[in-house]
Amino acid sequence: MISLRSSGWYSGDDRNAYIHRAWMRRGIPSSSFENRPHIAIANTASDLTPCNAHLTEVAQSVKNGVYEAGGIPLELPVVSLGETNVRPTAMLWRNMAAMATEEMLRANPVDGVVLLGGCDKTIPSLLMAAASVDLPAVVVPGGPMLTGHFRGEALGCGTDVWRLSEEVRAGTLSEAMFLTSESSMIRSKGHCNTMGTASTMALVAEALGTVLPGLAGTPAPDARLLEAAHETGMLAVRLVWDDRRPSTFLTKGSFHNAIVALAAIGGSTNAVVHLLAVAGRLGIDLTIDDFDRIGSDVPMLVNLQPAGRYLMDDLHRAGGFLAVMREVRDLLDSDALTITGERFVDCLDDARIWDPDVITPRESALLPAAGIRVLRGSLAPGGAIVKPAAASAHLLRHRGRAVVFDSIEDFHARIDDPELDIDADSVMVLRGCGPKGYPGMPEVANMPLPAKLLAQGIRDMVRICDGRMSGTAYGTVILHVTPEAAAGGPLALVQTGDWIDLDVRAGRIDLDVHADELAARTPGQATLDGFARPRRGWERLYIDHVLQADLGADLDFLVGATGSRVSRESH
């Protein structure tokens, strides 16, 4: 039997052990300190993170399971990031949330941890923390909300916000009717019900092996979520006794399976930057090229918004995530394990498709090759990505004249100007939105189209940005352009009127400007002004140390793991 980490605080008769035990005796019996695993429940519940507000209820079920298995549950509130409320972007604090969680897990007398997340950045930050501190850890995703309806039609969170707001700008939907839909969209507790970043990261976390198999995607109001949370609490205690830590079972093969899953579900491009960051904490050599190599030819089987028709509670009733993965079983790494100790592929035997319109069999895939594509070229020497499943087929090969915006404020100020020289063949270029330049790499890459083009019936154009795109969004958007403009990338030198060539099949994104002319250019003053704001605190630390998107946008000094050892006593 292993020696419990928490015993380093509680065992013995000296003054320090006395202090540690005495201050924890607030209803905890003496037996709590006698060789019983202490399990932290890292809880991202917050009233300001509405998608995670129900996680305190989930935490109670986890506690019950920990107690049943002989452990001691200890709820630990951690930094929570609400995607819809936090300004300038939740991504600015993902690394801070990961660092704070890691440090609190290391600093406290805990032997293992259950990670409760849901909203976009919460599961990635928790996984990054768990990978770096390397204590036994398991994820409980909070689950998607139930489907709301408006005018008899299902509403997809986020996706229909973008769609309906464009209809208002196009003059086909009244502003009053648009606002009426607001109260219909959020029907229940839970995170977005589209295949946005929250849903994607929950499913991808299961593909990695960090979630109890079959749990991810369970709707937040479903009683089976609480049942699985109870089981996870029991599992957490077993993980401690088995010494099953992230470093003992997460491998390159685990990330291979996550990439296959990302393509098969038509998942969010945000998963790329999050998976790169988690892999970096584990010391696993994962690159953006792996997403292209492994995932680009994987078929998309899930008919969910924004790339399809249905929503997350439909996926759950249709057979769930494991039914999807069973269809692509031959593409998976067969040796990769789950948190239970079994192989991920062995969890697929009993999975079935119950609604082939929601989960299509492989032979009738929605798209035969749907994975994230990596683009390189003179405009993105470090790479850029595109999600073909969300793009318009006729724009995947395109040549157009650039219309450049130096910041999101510049974009908003000019996009609906009737005099703006732009047409449907133009390429909209937005810069200053990368990790350093914004800062924090916001979800602004899916720029709204000019009102005058919407009025003409145009609904998609090629858009290029060094920022990110919401997982609930759609369109032919080239994003994560690396190096970003603020880091000296060629994007900073593009001028309105330059010709840009896009060829997704060939994996190319090029600026048709002679190298000599480009070398003679310098960023315009408007571009430089956008990168010169005075900064302090976390923002200053972030800008000085953040890596580029192709490295997961983690902080350079957080890459890798430190482990759970604390060498000094507190008294």
CATH of the domain at 237: 3.40.50.2300
Contact indicator for 389, 266 with CB cutoff of 8 Å: yes
| Average pLDDT of the segment spanning 114-132 | 98
Let me know if residue 21 belongs to a domain: no
Same-domain status, 317 and 339 = yes
CB-side neighbour CA atoms (13 Å) of 232:
35
Higher pLDDT, 528 or 420: 420
Looking at the structure of the chain, the number of domains it has is 3
Contacting residues for 53 by C-beta, under 8 A, at least 6 apart? 45, 46, 47, 189
Band (pLDDT 50/70/90 cuts) for residue 153 is confident
Residue 523, CA distances (Å) to 5, 361, 410, 495 in order: 54, 50, 15, 9
Which of 346, 364, 382 delimits the end of a domain? 364
pLDDT tens track for 268-320: 999 999 999 999 999 999 999 999 999 999 999 999 998 889 999 999 999 99
pLDDT (0 to 100) of residue 176: 86
Mean pLDDT comparison of 24-38, 142-156, 443-457, highest-scoring range: 443-457
- Bridge-partner residues for 155, per DSSP? 148
Asked if the structure places residue 164 within a domain, the reply is yes
- Both 88 and 154 in one domain: the answer is no
- Cβ 260 vs Cβ 326: under 8 Å: no
Q: Is pLDDT of 510 > 70?
A: yes
pLDDT value of position 216: 98
User: Own/partner pairs for 183-186, CB < 8 Å, 24+ apart?
Assistant: 184/148, 184/149, 184/150, 184/155, 185/148, 185/150, 185/155, 185/157, 185/160, 185/161, 186/50, 186/145, 186/148, 186/157
Domain limits at 165? 148-185
Mean of pLDDT values over 437-459? 94
Q: What is the CATH number of the domain that holds 426?
A: 3.50.30.80
In a domain, 563, yes or no: no
Distance CA 94, CA 122 (A): 8
pLDDT band, residue 173 (cuts 50/70/90): confident
3-state helix, strand, coil in the chain (%, to 5): 40, 15, 45
Residues 52 and 133 grouped into a single domain: yes
Full-model pTM? 0.95
Residue 66: pLDDT over 70: yes
Q: Mean pLDDT across the stretch 363-375?
A: 93
Query: Do 354 and 428 belong together in one domain?
Result: no
State the average pLDDT over residues 211-237. Answer: 98
Confidence of residue 27 (pLDDT cuts 50, 70, 90): confident
Which of 503, 518, 533 is the endpoint of a domain?
Answer: 533
Calpha distance 283→334 (Å, rounded): 21
Mean pLDDT of the chain: 94
CB atoms within 10 A of CB 397: 13
Ramachandran area for residue 192 (φ above 0: left; ψ -120 to 50: alpha; else beta): beta
Q: Tell me if 94 is assigned to some domain.
A: yes
Work out the pLDDT band at 495, boundaries 50, 70, 90. Answer: very high
- Paired tokens of 33: 């300190």
Q: Is the residue at 546 inside a domain? A: no
Least confident of 233-242, 344-353, 414-423, 529-538: 529-538
Cβ atoms of 267 and 261 within 8 Å: the answer is yes
Q: What pLDDT score does 531 carry?
A: 64
**402 and 523: one domain?**
yes
pLDDT greater at residue 177 or residue 73:
73
In this predicted structure, the answer to whether residue 322 has a pLDDT above a threshold of 70 is: yes
pLDDT at 131 over 80: yes
Is the Cβ–Cβ distance between 422 and 386 less than 8 Å?
no
Torsion of Cα atoms, 272 then 274 then 276 then 281, to 10°: -170
- pLDDT attached to residue 325: 98
pLDDT at 68: 98
Grade residue 197 by pLDDT with cuts at 50, 70 and 90.
very high
Residue with tokens 């050892």: 565
The residue with greater pLDDT, 370 or 239, is 239
Q: Which residue type does 176 have?
A: A
pLDDT at 527: 67
Q: In Å, what is the CA distance from 1 to each residue of 33, 35, 135, 299?
A: 16, 10, 16, 46
Residue 155 sits in the same domain as residue 203: no
Q: Which of 471, 439, 473, 488 is nearest to 95 (CA)?
A: 439
Do residue 156 and residue 226 come from a single domain?
A: no
Tell me whether residue 542 is in a domain: no
Q: Is the pLDDT of residue 539 over 70?
A: yes
350, 396: one domain:
no
Q: What residue has token string 């991202």?
A: 44
Strands 427-430 and 462-465: parallel
* Same domain (yes/no): 152, 193: no
Tell me which residue of 218, 217, 159, 219 sits closest to 189, measured CA to CA: 219
Q: Which pLDDT score, from 0 to 100, does residue 180 have?
A: 82
Regarding whether 458 and 344 lie in a shared domain, the answer is no
d(CA 187, CA 180) in angstroms, rounded, equals: 14
In this model, does residue 169 exceed pLDDT 80? yes
The least confident of 178-182, 327-331, 461-465, 550-554 is 178-182
Q: Give the confidence band of 26 by pLDDT, cuts at 50, 70, 90.
A: confident
Is position 502 within any domain? yes
Same domain, 450 and 462: yes
Phi, psi (degrees; rounded to nearest 5) at 131: -65, -35
Percentage of the chain with pLDDT > 90? 84
Q: Answer yes or no: do 191 and 72 share one domain.
A: yes
The model's confidence at residue 570, banded by pLDDT at 50, 70 and 90, is confident
What Rg value do the Cα atoms of the chain yield, rounded? Answer: 24
pLDDT at 83 over 70: yes
Helical ranges in 69-222 per DSSP H: 94-107, 122-133, 159-170, 175-180, 182-185, 197-208
pLDDT beyond 70 at 528:
no
pLDDT of 516 reads 93
Q: Is residue 534 pLDDT above 70, yes or no?
A: no
Of 138, 161, 185, the one marking the end of a domain is 185
Nearest-angstrom CA–CA distance, 527 and 407: 8
Q: Residue 538 falls within a domain, yes or no? A: no
